[in-house]
Each structure stands twice: as C-alpha cells, then as structure tokens.
Amino acid sequence: MHEVSIMMSIIDTALDVAKQNDAQKITKITVEIGEKAGVVKDALEFAFETVTKETIATQANFEIITIPFKGQCISCDHIFTGDNYLVCDKCGNLGKMITGNELRIKSIEVDECV
Ligand SMILES: [Zn+2]
C-alpha cells in the first residue's frame, strides 16, 4: 500500500511548514490528486488517520481534490478526456497526459494559538 508512504511525505512537509510558522496545530491539509495518479482515495484517507496519530496534525481536516484527466494527441494536438487515455479520440494516434497525474499539496492551514 504505497498510499502510506505518500501520506508520510505529505505529513512530513506539513509538519515542516507548521514548524517554520511556529504553528501549534495543523487544521487542514488539502491535496490535489490526478485521477490517473494511481492513488486510492480511501486508502489515502485511511493512511492520513494512521500517519497523523500523535502529531499536531491529528485533528486536521484532510481534503482531496481530484484533478480530471486530460490528454493531448502528439500528432494532431487534439485535447481529449476519457478512460482510453492514451489514444486520441479524433485521429487514433497516441496522446500524452497533460493533467491527471498530479500528486501535490495544495494548501496547509495552521493554527498559531494553542
Ligand atoms: Zn489526434
């Protein structure tokens, strides 16, 4: 379950940010995850519970924003969406992924009061 290691690095970053800001508590963490990033949302939420235990992020809200897939054809530049994400629905050539592979922290909210 690689969601746990993903979550650990997210929390590491969040704790660093909190420290730099002298925060006593992390109140919210928002991440953006592409729908083709290969991350299971439920597993990530479960990992969040586990990884934040006994940290200042334990009561934080965790929000996942899903970024929809978008592909662009390498031969005709047509932009397409959909499940068959490597094939252009216009000319049938191969496409490349423009969005949908994201895995990043969008925002971290902290509370400076105890
Ligand atoms: Zn095409």
- CATH number for the segment(s) 3-68+100-111: 3.30.2320.50
**Tens of pLDDT along 56-78?**
999 999 999 999 999 999 999 99
**Tens of pLDDT along 77-104?**
999 998 776 899 999 999 999 999 999 9
Q: Record the pTM.
A: 0.86
CA dihedral 49, 51, 57, 60 (to 10 degrees): -30
- Cα(88) to ligand 1 centroid in Å equals 5
E strand or H helix that includes residue 2: none
Q: Where are the domains of the chain?
A: 3-68+100-111
Q: Which residues contact 104 (CB under 8 A, 6 or more apart)?
A: 31, 32
- Cα(84) to ligand 1 centroid in Å equals 13
What residues form DSSP beta bridges with 87? 94
CB burial string 20-39: b at 16+ within 10 A, e below: eeebebbebbebbbbbbbeb
- Cα(65) to ligand 1 centroid in Å equals 29
